[in-house]
Amino acid sequence: EVQLLQSGGGLVQPGGSLRLSCIGSGYDFSKYGMTWVRQAPGKGLEWVSHITSGGYTTDYGDSVEGRFTISRDNSKNTLYLQMNNLRVEDTARYYCAKGGGYSTGYGPDAFDFWGQGTSVTVSS
């Protein structure tokens, strides 16, 4: 059974930092791209960042470019999101999601499994 177990998150002041983690199990973690998607309270889904299966290529949404860093350790089946210089508008529930392999090459993908999400609140 595929599972994505998330940790990290919490309350942080503006300008602070947090690191989110997502451990995949039940599948070959190293073979699939991974993504972070966030959802502000009462709002829709916003794509944050993507990393290819080997970790060699990363992409970011404009709102987080230069502040967030996505990475993965395939030896630990773990995905990370390092969030620096956090802003009030980064307050959201953050989901990690597994690429379904429906992309062309290492391109963007649809997501067949999602973590339960972790809450990030940025407030003074």
Partner 1 sequence: DIVMTQSPDSLAVSLGERATINCRSSQSVFYSGNNNNYLAWYQQKPGQPPKLLIFWASTRESGVPDRFSGSGSGTHFILTINSLQAEDVAVYYCQQYYSIPITFGQGTRLEIK
Name the site residues for partner 1 (rule: CB under 8 A): 35, 37, 44-47, 50, 59, 61-62, 95, 97, 100, 102-104, 107-112, 114-117
Closest CA to 32 of 95, 111, 94: 111
Work out how close the CB of 3 gets to partner 1 at its nearest, in angstroms, rounded to a whole number.
Answer: 12
**Whose Cβ is closer to partner 1: residue 8's or residue 61's?**
61
Residue 107 makes CB contacts below 8 A (sequence gap 6+) with none
Amino acid at 56: Y
Residue 75 makes CB contacts below 8 A (sequence gap 6+) with none
**Whose Cβ is closer to partner 1: residue 61's or residue 121's?**
61
Work out how close the CB of 73 gets to partner 1 at its nearest, in angstroms, rounded to a whole number.
Answer: 23
Work out how close the CB of 15 gets to partner 1 at its nearest, in angstroms, rounded to a whole number.
Answer: 25
Q: Report strand pairing: 10-12 vs 68-73.
A: unpaired
Instruction: Return phi, psi of residue 83, to 5°.
Output: -115, 115
**Whose Cβ is closer to partner 1: residue 16's or residue 100's?**
100
